[in-house]
């Protein structure tokens, strides 16, 4: 499992403890690595790799290995649209055929927010930095289609979030 945007490493540690049969590969920009390593080192987990430096915009920074799973939580709304597009364009290059990508967070659908709290959160994000904001699932589907990824599940989660499950399609 490649985790994109691991941040502090809290998700890495929580999931790696709960799923000991999955090797968890955290990644993020280098500035986050010292805090992430602190969480990982304290947990002493054998199924977690050393954090990778990954700017998703830079093809040369993506790992050379192939993954069965990719996971990213609460990242798309703090990425510029160009970075979200790069994520969808480049993620398939590290996914085995049939691999899945799980994206967790708040989303809009057909331009509509799922709740007033998400509308307020989106406005706050955009006021802080206009390149941030809650992304529309239909736009993500277009990006995914171009990258040969297919949305197979949209799972409602607590606090007006969703878990979007994408699968890499076989080449035709």
Kindly report, residue by residue over 31-90, the tens digit of the pLDDT. 999 999 999 999 999 999 999 999 999 999 999 999 999 999 999 999 999 999 999 999
Phi and psi torsions of 63, nearest 5°: -60, 155
Q: How many CB atoms lie within 10 A of CB 35?
A: 16
Rounded Cα distance, 65 and 93, in Å? 9
Buried b (16+ CB within 10 A) or exposed e, 8-33: ebebbbebbeeeeeebbbbbbeeebb
Contact of 103 with 70, CB cutoff 8 Å? no
Quick: pLDDT tens for 86-109: 999 999 999 999 999 999 999 999
* 172 band by pLDDT with thresholds 50, 70 and 90: low
Q: Which CATH number fits domain 2-168: 3.90.420.10, 1.10.10.10, 3.40.50.150, 3.10.450.50?
A: 3.40.50.150
> What is the rounded average pLDDT of the residues 109-122?
95
């Amino acid at each position: 499992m490649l985790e994109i945007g691991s941040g502090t490493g809290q998700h890495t540690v929580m999931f790696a403890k709960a799923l000991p049969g999955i090797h968890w590969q955290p990644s993020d920009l280098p500035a986050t690595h010292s805090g992430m390593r602190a969480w990982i080192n304290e947990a002493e987990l054998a199924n977690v790799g050393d954090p990778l430096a990954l700017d998703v915009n830079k093809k040369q920074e993506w790992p050379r290995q192939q993954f069965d799973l990719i996971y990213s939580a609460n990242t798309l709304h703090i990425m510029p649209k160009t970075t979200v597009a790069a994520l969808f364009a480049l993620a398939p290059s590290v996914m085995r055929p049939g691999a899945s990508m799980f994206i967790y967070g708040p989303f809009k659908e057909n331009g509509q927010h799922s709740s007033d709290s998400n509308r307020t959160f989106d406005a706050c994000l955009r006021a802080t930095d206009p390149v941030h904001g809650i992304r529309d699932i239909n736009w993500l589907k277009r990006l995914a289609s171009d990258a040969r990824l297919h949305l197979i599940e949209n799972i409602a989660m607590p606090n007006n979030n969703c878990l979007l499950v994408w699968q890499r399609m076989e080449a035709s």
